[in-house]
Copies of this chain bind each other. A is one copy, B any other.
């Protein structure tokens, strides 16, 4: 037997398995790329999911005012309960309350960004060895969090030819007894897709059949283009327990403020008090979101004018249309028009680009030659697309599309090239 108190007499400090397992695939892929822009052309980054970087999409004055008042009041410097101030939770509940999906303060947990909301939901539902279902292509954080705590991920397919609807049959084939939840992103990052009511009902039917709780990542909720309708998932079901994750980051354009929330929809009392208590316990590890932002929350939600939201989505739609229209006529590319969020996906007919291996190679060379950087969707477990962020100023969008066109015209081969032809 091992000697008690035995200990090696030299320094040997290694990171934990959890730290080693915690991977951000976007970072891993981007850090592995050789991103040397063409010195003749100014760099245009269409890769950054931060709507604030170009200064063209400031938050509303009301939002800033609310924060300033929270600071001045000096009432929000102390500790809040780890799930958030009652009043702030009430404000969120009132904002999202609807006859079809009633909410009270007790159904709201405030978190440090939507990221922590997602982390808490996955953590409260899943043990190591369990699995969760996540979309492919999909936002990478779900996998990062799951793998970090030893939870497996199973990727269900989204269908580009059906505007990124879920392949329900494939989804259903993945469910097993160790599946703890279905993660749904609507509107979607990276696709910009918005599911219609019928499709959401189809997903709910499946969740109901297999008794599968849903983590609905609705951080882009209501961020849909003029003419498109958004349905929050919880308004469409009374039996499936739903944890809806959201926050201020996207719609209010203040991602750095780290204000997120979990809305607990559980009209059939499937979660009971246990899951709620579990969430409360987990929040006690780091004590939630900044109190100043919590203090401003009621005023932010009540006072931000509708035209602020509308002008954001109109801008995003116009930009997405510029991009879609431009790239639709570029040989070798297939953009898919989004209906919401801040992204557009563009397919690459990689077989028509001889010498270019895949999306990572494509986007790398696009930087080298044209100084335009788009995220290769291998980062979202879905190769041979790239994702464009449509929050950039319109002129930049136009310029970038022109350069992408130039790049494709230079490399595109109308006839599919296979290696045997190249040998001749």
A residues in contact (CB < 8 Å) with B: 2, 4-20, 22-24, 27, 50-53, 58-59, 64, 67-68, 71-72, 74, 76-80, 112-113, 115-116, 119, 123-127, 141, 144-145, 148-149, 173, 175-177, 179-180, 210-211, 213, 241, 253-258, 268, 270-271, 274-275, 277-279, 281-282, 284-294
Contacts and interface: CB of A to CB of B under 8 A. Distances in A.
Given A11-B211, A211-B12, A286 B119 contact: yes
Nearest to A181: B13
Greatest chain B CB density within 10 A among A123, A253, A290 is at A290
Nearest to A117: B286
Contacts of A71: 64, 67-68, 71
A13 B287 contact: no
A213 B11 CA distance: 9
Contact of A256 (B51, B176, B210, B291): B291
B7 A281 contact: no
A113 B287 contact: yes
A277 B76 contact: no
B13 A275 contact: yes
Main secondary structure of the interface of A (DSSP, over half): loop
Contacts of A278: 15-16, 19-20, 22
Contacts of A5: 173, 175-177
Contact of A287 (B53, B125, B173, B258): B258
Given A211-B7, A256-B291, A68 B72 contact: yes
A52 B12 CA distance: 42
17 contacts: A5-B173, A5-B175, A10-B211, A13-B125, A13-B271, A15-B275, A16-B123, A16-B278, A52-B77, A112-B286, A113-B287, A119-B285, A145-B285, A256-B290, A257-B290, A258-B286, A258-B289
Contacts of A294: 256
Contacts of A76: 256
Greatest chain B CB density within 10 A among A5, A16, A20 is at A16
A241 B13 contact: yes
A22 B282 contact: yes
